[in-house]
């Protein structure tokens, strides 16, 4: 699944840390979208998948690999990422649906602002309410 992402499709950011969401009001926190030290935020394409299959991918390729619990996911429409001048590059390792949000600004102080905006646009889905 290496073709370009459509602005209308959604991607999921899997949540393996409590700091990625607020249990009090079930919203996504900016930490979920912050780039790693390589300037990437790992996401998975979820087009044409049901919840069970999405969580199966998250468990097997994210939580199990990191040896952390899968708490949920933050779904976001690709156009919301593109609106912030970020790109999404397909990266078929460890899974054909894996991709990375890239082209974060060099000025790291802007990362939190963009991550806050993305989190506000994301929809939280917990593995168990």
- Run means of pLDDT, 10 residues per run, the chain, 129 residues: 84 96 96 96 97 96 94 98 97 94 94 98 90
CB atoms < 10 A from the CB of 74, how many?
24
**pTM of the model as a whole:** 0.94
Q: Are the C-beta atoms of residues 43 and 32 closer than 8 Å to each other? A: no
Q: Are the C-beta atoms of residues 100 and 44 closer than 8 Å to each other? A: no
Identify the pLDDT of residue 128: 77
Identify the pLDDT of residue 1: 59
């Amino acid at each position: 699944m290496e073709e370009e992402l459509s602005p209308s499709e959604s991607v999921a950011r899997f949540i393996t840390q409590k700091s990625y969401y607020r249990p009090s009001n079930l919203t996504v926190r900016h930490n979920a979208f912050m780039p790693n030290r390589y300037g990437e935020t790992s996401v998975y394409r979820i087009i044409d998948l049901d919840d069970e299959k999405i969580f199966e991918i998250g468990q097997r390729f994210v939580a199990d690999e990191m040896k952390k619990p899968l708490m949920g996911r933050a779904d976001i429409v690709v156009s919301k990422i593109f609106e912030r001048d970020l790109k999404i590059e397909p990266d078929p390792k460890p899974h054909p649906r894996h991709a990375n949000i890239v082209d974060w600004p060099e000025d790291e102080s802007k990362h939190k602002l963009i991550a806050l905006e993305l989190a506000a646009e994301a929809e939280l889905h917990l593995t168990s309410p």
